[in-house]
């Protein structure tokens, strides 16, 4: 890989911009992170790899097969999580791919929206243009119940799940790690264990499916969505594990782990942010994972859930519900419960009890709502500064800034890099953050590989020491960065802003903002911010905006009025 030369002062303590071998990251970061066990993931980091995967997406095949573990899923999550690709880039690539496959010309992209081939030298992006909000939900009616109106719909909808979780993270901050609602399992929260069972951690439960999923999680740091659901469900409902413990376990291994997508998905499975617990049975597993796991499983050979040592998943949903939960109403077909994962048109998780503070949910940067219930497993608190508040920059906008590149913005869509493509930029590996939200070697190698394709100095240590020192080294008068969803990164931004001028730029969103001010109301009756109480409430707000007026017109025309 050619090494990018950095045209600003270097320091002997900068981390090297060459990586002779991937395992070397372990030794490089040992002074800050201690001994890092394990091996790098076979999945590579970096923009080149991200573009390779992006070029291969097939939204049609995705819609037809995404729930199958060998389906046409994109594998893009680690790149999206770290901002190597923005959701907007993936959205545009999906629309373009559908147009190419169907031979239909794409409408002109809305001014300012990302071109997947954008380079670091691209001009700055200042939000979307057009009048996406002017499209109302009625004009965007479905052709017939449940049918996709566009071959790219399933993929766009999943991208929206990420956007939805990220918005909730901005509102709730560290509150995403606490029960949002009471569990609907009939069990008190004390019934759930605070420690990960050894056999589960090691992948030696004797259940071929579970052990295979654990091996993938630990070995590669990536799992198919369905495998995540099965594994989380097994942990929480069969092993009675506190969901936070499972979420922390996933976080330590997943290349794509972030507080929002991970913890809120665990809550969705556990039922503290959904209307009922998610469970599965053997028939469901075999349908979406194929027969080979069960064929090789000793437990399956011993019989069903009733037999000693038999397969705990081989039973009807009614039987499993009676075994696992205390006095719940009858379980229906799980597909009606799978808005997050399966059939097109199933809708989001069905709306039930509203979370505690609907007003906060409509104000994107409101202070985190108080958690319902007190989890025994306390997630480490955020640093002292107001993590869920937007940064308050010190007076004055930096004229000759350095750029702080953080772990949500490791790609050319980074708003700070776009606005200042020639200014010195720095990334800081932060051992404190990585300890609180565990990052293992797989993740650190992935990030390192992404950094090697960016014009950025690499440091490790306390960002509140390293960033001012880098600014001083470069003779800069402040810092420009991109707004983060992670409350810890926002806390660092706030801490920095107390020391020197800081400008925080908005990242490009999946849901284009109305023209003019970001978040402006586009048409009478059109809400500037979505109702975040459930995905099913957010989606009717987001969907027409994501499509935009030009595509909507095409769709409605194409539907024959
Ligand atoms: C218990 C559990 C934990 C999870 N933890 C994470 C996590 O830490 N980070 C993470 O990015 N995803 C998480 N997910 C969501 C989902 O499993 C992954 O995003 C997806 O499997 C990644 O594979 P892919 O890139 O091939 O996704 P695709 O199916 O190809 O989807 C494209 C992109 O859409 C987004 N996406 C798709 N499905 C979801 C979803 N259900 N929720 C949020 N975003 C979605 C991702 O950015 C993904 O890369 C979790 C799901 C569960 C059930």
Domain ranges of the chain: 24-43+382-505, 181-354
Ligand 1 close to Cβ of residue 278 (< 6 A): no
Question: Ligand 1: distance of its center to the CA of 432 in Å?
Answer: 26
CA distance 517 to 158: 27
Question: Ligand 1: distance of its center to the CA of 225 in Å?
Answer: 6
The answer to whether residue 149 scores a pLDDT higher than 80 is no
The answer to whether residue 323 scores a pLDDT higher than 80 is yes
**Residue closest to 47 by CA, chosen among 412, 472, 323:** 412
pLDDT band at 321 (very low <50, low <70, confident <90, very high): very high
Contact 410, 451 (CB under 8 A): yes
Residue with tokens 């503290």: 272
pLDDT band at 1 (very low <50, low <70, confident <90, very high): low
pLDDT at 424: 97
Query: Quick one: average pLDDT of 350-359?
Result: 34
Question: Ligand 1: distance of its center to the CA of 503 in Å?
Answer: 31
Q: What is the pLDDT of residues 197-219, one digit of tens each?
A: 999 999 999 999 999 999 999 99
Ligand 1 close to Cβ of residue 225 (< 6 A): yes
What percentage of the chain reaches a pLDDT higher than 70? 75
Question: Ligand 1: distance of its center to the CA of 205 in Å?
Answer: 25
Ligand 1 close to Cβ of residue 165 (< 6 A): yes
Residue with tokens 């300012």: 112
Q: Which atom of ligand 1 is nearest the CA belonging to 74?
A: 30
pLDDT at 147: 61
Mutating to test ligand 1, I would choose from 57, 227, 261, 546 the residue with most ligand atoms within 8 A of its C-beta, which is 261
Contact 285, 73 (CB under 8 A): no
What percentage of the chain reaches a pLDDT higher than 90? 65
Question: Ligand 1: distance of its center to the CA of 66 in Å?
Answer: 11
Ligand 1 close to Cβ of residue 228 (< 6 A): yes
Q: Between vectors from CA 428 to CA 423 and to CA 430, what angle results, nearest 5°?
A: 160
The answer to whether residue 302 scores a pLDDT higher than 70 is yes
pLDDT band at 500 (very low <50, low <70, confident <90, very high): very high
Tell me the average pLDDT of the chain.
81
Taking CA atoms only, the protein residue closest to ligand 1 atom 37 is: 158
Length of the chain (residues)? 561
The answer to whether residue 128 scores a pLDDT higher than 70 is no
pLDDT at 99: 84
Residue with tokens 């008068």: 477
Q: Which atom of ligand 1 is nearest the CA belonging to 80?
A: 47
According to CATH, the topology of domain 24-43+382-505 is Rossmann fold (3.40.50)
The answer to whether residue 176 scores a pLDDT higher than 70 is yes
pLDDT at 126: 25
Between 141 and 380, whose confidence is greater?
A: 141
For the ranges 148-157, 224-233, 366-375, the maximum mean pLDDT occurs at: 224-233
Q: What is the pLDDT of residues 61-108, one digit of tens each?
A: 999 999 999 999 999 999 999 999 999 999 999 999 988 877 776 665
Question: Ligand 1: distance of its center to the CA of 480 in Å?
Answer: 29
Between 358 and 353, whose confidence is greater?
A: 358
pLDDT at 387: 33
Q: Which atom of ligand 1 is nearest the CA belonging to 246?
A: 1
pLDDT band at 522 (very low <50, low <70, confident <90, very high): low
Q: Which atom of ligand 1 is nearest the CA belonging to 87?
A: 47
* 52: Cα separation from own chain's centroid: 20
pLDDT at 107: 60
| 407: CB partners within 8 A, 6+ apart | 82, 83, 427, 447, 486, 489
Q: Report the sign of the C-alpha dihedral through residues 101, 107, 108, 112, in that order.
A: negative
Contact 348, 340 (CB under 8 A): yes
The answer to whether residue 186 scores a pLDDT higher than 50 is yes
For the ranges 62-66, 117-121, 368-372, the maximum mean pLDDT occurs at: 62-66
Q: Which atom of ligand 1 is nearest the CA belonging to 76?
A: 25
Per DSSP, helices labelled H in 42-86 are: 47-55, 59-65, 77-81
Per DSSP, helices labelled H in 363-454 are: 415-419, 431-436, 441-451
Ligand 1 close to Cβ of residue 212 (< 6 A): no
Taking CA atoms only, the protein residue closest to ligand 1 atom 33 is: 159
Between 338 and 447, whose confidence is greater?
A: 447
Taking CA atoms only, the protein residue closest to ligand 1 atom 46 is: 77
pLDDT band at 430 (very low <50, low <70, confident <90, very high): very high
Query: Quick one: average pLDDT of 266-276?
Result: 97
Residue with tokens 């999680």: 217
Q: Between vectors from CA 254 to CA 334 and to CA 155, what angle results, nearest 5°?
A: 50
Cα-only R_g, the chain: 23
pLDDT band at 472 (very low <50, low <70, confident <90, very high): very high
Token pair of 434, please? Answer: 């990585």
Ligand 1 close to Cβ of residue 262 (< 6 A): yes
Taking CA atoms only, the protein residue closest to ligand 1 atom 12 is: 261
Q: Which atom of ligand 1 is nearest the CA belonging to 73?
A: 30
Q: Report pTM.
A: 0.85
Q: What is the pLDDT of residues 481-490, one digit of tens each?
A: 999 999 999 9
The answer to whether residue 137 scores a pLDDT higher than 50 is no
Ligand 1 close to Cβ of residue 110 (< 6 A): no
Q: Can you list the positions of beta strands (E) in 280-431?
A: 402-404, 425-429
Query: Quick one: average pLDDT of 181-208?
Result: 96
Contact 554, 107 (CB under 8 A): yes
Q: Between vectors from CA 480 to CA 519 and to CA 109, what angle results, nearest 5°?
A: 45
Q: What is the pLDDT of residues 392-415, one digit of tens each?
A: 445 578 999 999 999 999 999 999
The answer to whether residue 118 scores a pLDDT higher than 50 is no
CATH architecture of 181-354: Orthogonal Bundle (1.10)
């Amino acid at each position: 890989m050619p090494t990018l030369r950095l045209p600003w002062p270097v320091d002997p303590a900068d981390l090297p911009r060459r990586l002779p071998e991937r395992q070397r990251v372990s030794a490089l970061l040992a002074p800050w992170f201690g001994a890092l066990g394990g091996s790098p993931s076979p999945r590579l980091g970096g923009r080149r790899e991200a573009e390779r995967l992006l070029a291969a997406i097939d939204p049609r095949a995705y819609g037809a097969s995404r729930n199958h573990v060998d389906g046409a899923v994109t594998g893009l999550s680690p790149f999206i999580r770290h901002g190597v690709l923005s959701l907007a880039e993936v959205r545009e690539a999906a629309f373009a791919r559908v147009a190419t496959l169907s031979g239909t010309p794409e409408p002109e992209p809305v001014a300012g929206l990302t071109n997947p081939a954008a380079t670091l030298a691209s001009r700055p992006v200042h939000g979307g243009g057009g009048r996406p909000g002017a499209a109302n939900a009625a004009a965007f009616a479905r052709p017939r119940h449940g049918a996709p109106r566009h071959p790219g719909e399933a993929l766009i909808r999943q991208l929206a799940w990420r956007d939805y979780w990220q918005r909730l993270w901005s509102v709730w901050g560290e509150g995403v790690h606490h029960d949002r609602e009471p569990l609907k399992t009939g069990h008190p929260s004390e019934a759930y264990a605070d420690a990960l069972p050894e056999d589960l951690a090691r992948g030696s439960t004797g259940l071929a499916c579970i052990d295979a999923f654990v091996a993938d999680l630990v070995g590669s740091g990536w799992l198919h969505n369905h495998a995540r659901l099965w594994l989380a469900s097994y942990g929480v409902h069969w092993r009675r594990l506190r969901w936070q413990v499972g979420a922390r376990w996933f976080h330590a291994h997943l290349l794509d782990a972030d507080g929002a997508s991970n913890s809120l998905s665990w809550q969705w499975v556990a039922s503290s942010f959904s209307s009922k617990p998610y469970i599965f049975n053997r028939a469901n597993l075999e349908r979406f994972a194929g027969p080979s796991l069960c064929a090789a499983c000793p437990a399956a050979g011993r019989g069903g859930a009733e037999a000693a040592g038999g397969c705990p998943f081989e039973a009807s949903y009614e039987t499993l519900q009676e075994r696992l939960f205390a006095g719940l109403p009858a379980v229906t077909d799980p597909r009606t419960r799978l808005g997050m994962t399966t059939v097109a048109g199933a809708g989001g998780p069905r709306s039930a009890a509203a979370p505690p503070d609907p007003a906060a949910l409509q104000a994107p940067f409101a202070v985190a709502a108080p958690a319902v219930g007190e989890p025994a497993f306390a997630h480490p608190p955020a640093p002292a500064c107001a993590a869920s508040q937007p940064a308050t920059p010190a007076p004055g906008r930096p004229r000759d800034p350095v750029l702080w590149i953080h772990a949500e913005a490791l790609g050319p869509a980074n708003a700070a890099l776009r606005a200042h493509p020639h200014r010195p930029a720095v990334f800081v590996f932060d051992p404190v953050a990585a300890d609180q939200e565990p990052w293992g070697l797989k993740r650190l190698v992935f990030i390192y590989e992404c950094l090697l394709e960016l014009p950025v100095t690499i440091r490790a240590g306390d960002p509140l020491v390293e960033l001012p020192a880098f600014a001083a080294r470069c003779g800069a008068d402040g810092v420009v960065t991109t707004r983060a969803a992670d409350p810890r990164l926002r806390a660092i931004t706030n801490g920095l802003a107390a020391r020197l001028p800081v400008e925080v730029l908005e990242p490009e969103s999946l849901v284009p903002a109305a023209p003019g001010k970001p978040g402006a109301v586009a048409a009478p009756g059109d809400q500037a911010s979505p109702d975040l109480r459930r995905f099913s409430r957010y989606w009717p707000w987001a969907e027409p905006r994501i499509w935009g007026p030009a595509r909507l017109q095409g769709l409605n025309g194409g539907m024959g009025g």
